[in-house]
Amino acid sequence: MPKLKSKILVVDDNAGIRSALNILLPMRFAEVELIASPKVLMEAMRQFKPDAVLLDMNFETDTNTGNEGLFWLSELKRNFPEVEVVLFTAYADIALAVEGMKRGAFDFVVKPWDNAKLLATLETACKKHRVGTHSVGTHRMCPPYTNATPPMQWGKSEAMKNLRHMVEMAAPTDATVLILGENGTGKDVLANEIHRLSNRSAKPMVSVDIGAITETLFESEMFGHVKGAFTDAHADHIGKFEQANGTTLFLDEIGNIPLTQQAKLLRVIQNRTITRVGDTRPIPIDIRLICATNMDLAKMVKEGRFREDLFYRINTMVLQLPPLRERKDEIVSLSELFIKQYATKYHRTANSLSDEARKLLLRCRWSGNIRELQGCIEKAVIYSESEQIQAADLQIRASELMEEKTPKLKNETLESAEEQVIRNAMRQYNGNLTLVAKALKISRPTLYSRLKKYGI
């Protein structure tokens, strides 16, 4: 494999680690410089001008910031924002490394490291640096949406605004993302949006429904197999991880992975190498991982149904997708999007919603979230006989509607309401019956009758 025309700066106070990296890194990168102390880091940056920095998280220095790695990361991003920083951390420092990702680090590598993983991470960081420094301005052009990847509907709720900000921060990095949310909330659409905004968007994202893979076929489907590996292996098969090399791998319903297969998945995610079934040759992979689930993984960890180490490997960045009932401002816009989609598909004339249809959509519970709404609109487009979808076309049952909140009188009966009005008027006009009768627009005899009736 030819060397990359890239420059790597290593900052680590461990002489043994520097010696090992001084052998490994020059095999892949054109120039490598290693320094023992971050005290000379800024000067080394100015003179060496690296594409990427491999930065240790802890040093024996007099820096009293609480964590040296985060301090020097901040200094690097402040003074050299275009240079990618990969954090070098011990297993116990992973929480700090995650914090570093939030502060702008490209990725992190755990010690003791896997050579292939380290090289692949640094190579990707260098590629991102080259793309960033050669692009016009500071914004990368994102590919347009396609029919296969519908647009993400952000809405105006505070929760969705916060989510959008987090996505825009996380997408350009290679950080592993875990998307949480109820069934039908659009976790796959959000994963597509992250990929679209990433530096890997030139290649399509590879999606896998973990729940649809049987336990016996898991290794073959995910890691591939070679010809003759088992009875029906008539040819070599490339697994999903290999298919996603250089792009994003989306593992949907990650909570459904059998406990027996979790260790194998963890090993691949950690080492960034796969071995096909029936083969012994490790194959390095360069992927960006996004996982999604509707399950409570933290609870599953406590119950022993999900590995704790795998859980912490996939939740570097956690994004919570709210249910549709908390995103009411998106219901109409999503409905209009689906109307356009299905009118084209079924050659119908429907292109809008009537006012009554809009009101009905907003009153529905949508327990099945966006998926349920999509199905409802699809049927409505098919049944509609005009350009406007009517409330009846939606076929929403009364049991699916939320109770309308209407203002209630303090007392329930008309008589008690009348009594209250008269008492209020008597207080307002200090018992002046002429003024009270005039204000209530009734005659004095009628007022006398009501006063007697209610004992006023």
Question: Looking at the structure, do residues 23 and 123 belong to the same domain, yes or no?
Answer: yes
Cis check: omega of the bond before 143, within 30 degrees of 0: no
Q: Provide the residue type at 350 as one letter.
A: A
pLDDT at 348 over 80: yes
Q: Mean pLDDT throughout 280-285?
A: 91
Report the CATH number at residue 75. 3.40.50.2300
DSSP symbols for 369-409: HHHHHHHHHHHHHHH--SSEE-HHHH---GGGBPPP-----
With 60 as the cut, is the pLDDT of residue 66 above it?
A: no
18 shares its domain with 69: yes
Tell me 364's DSSP state. Answer: B
What distance in Å separates the CA atoms of residue 56 and residue 208, rounded to the nearest whole number?
35
Mean pLDDT across 405-413: 50
Q: Are residues 314 and 330 in the same domain?
A: no
The residue that leads in pLDDT, 317 or 128, is 317
pTM of the full predicted structure?
A: 0.59
| Cα–Cα dist 311/67, whole Å | 25
Poorest-confidence range of 51-60, 65-74, 202-211, 343-352? 65-74
Q: Which residues make Cβ contacts (< 8 Å) with residue 445, sequence separation at least 6?
A: none
Average pLDDT over residues 32-37: 94
- Average pLDDT over the chain reads 85
Write down the residue that tokens 């959008």 correspond to: 164
- Number of domains making up the chain: 4
Q: Are residues 356 and 250 in the same domain?
A: no
Same domain as 169, residue 306: yes
Residue 403 class from Cβ within 10 Å (0-12 exposed, 13-18 middle, 19+ buried)? exposed
pLDDT tens string 427-453: 777 788 888 888 788 888 888 888 888
The helix (H) or strand (E) run that includes residue 289 is strand 288-293
Is residue 151 assigned to a domain? Answer: no
Please give the pLDDT value at position 134. Answer: 42
Q: If you ran DSSP here, which 8-state letter would residue 286 be given? A: -
- Is residue 346 a contact partner of residue 382, using CB atoms and an 8 Å limit? yes
Mean local confidence (pLDDT), 168-188 = 91
How much is the pLDDT for 60? 64
DSSP class of residue 28 equals T
Instruction: Write down the pLDDT at residue 135.
Output: 40
- Indicate if 240 and 333 belong to the same structural domain: no
Encoding tokens for residue 371? Answer: 């998926």
The verdict on residue 140 lying in a domain is no
The residues facing 273 across adjacent strands are 284
Residue partners of 167: CB distance under 8 A and separation at least 6: 190, 193, 194, 197, 319
- Confidence (pLDDT) at 403: 65
The CATH code of the domain that includes 419 is 1.10.10
Domain final position from 134, 166, 183: 134
**Helix residue ranges, H only, 197-296:** 218-223, 240-243, 259-271
CA-to-CA separations, 405 to 103, 408, 429, in angstroms, rounded: 45, 9, 34
Among the three residues 274, 300, 322, which one is the final residue of a domain in this structure?
A: 322
Distance of CA 25 to the CA centre of its chain: 34
Q: Are residues 200 and 298 in the same domain?
A: yes
**pLDDT by residue (tens digit) across 283-326?**
999 999 999 999 999 999 999 999 999 999 999 899 999 999 99
Q: Give the model's confidence band at 410: pLDDT under 50 very low, under 70 low, under 90 confident, else very high.
A: very low
Q: Are 164 and 246 within one domain?
A: yes
In DSSP terms, 149 is beta-bridged to 146
**Cα dihedral 171, 177, 182, 184 in deg (nearest 10):** 50
> Residue 52: in which H helix or E strand, if any?
strand 52-56
Count CB atoms within 10 A of the CB of residue 146. Answer: 11
Number of H-type helices and E-type strands within the chain: 19, 14
Element spanning 29, H or E: strand 29-35
CA angle at 239 for the pair 237 and 242, rounded to the nearest 5°: 115
Average pLDDT over residues 70-77: 89
CB-CB contact of 449 with 416 (8 Å): no
Domain ranges, residue 310: 158-322
Q: Is the pLDDT of residue 242 over 70?
A: yes
The verdict on 98 and 162 lying in the same domain is no
Residue 105 confidence class, pLDDT cut points 50, 70, 90: confident
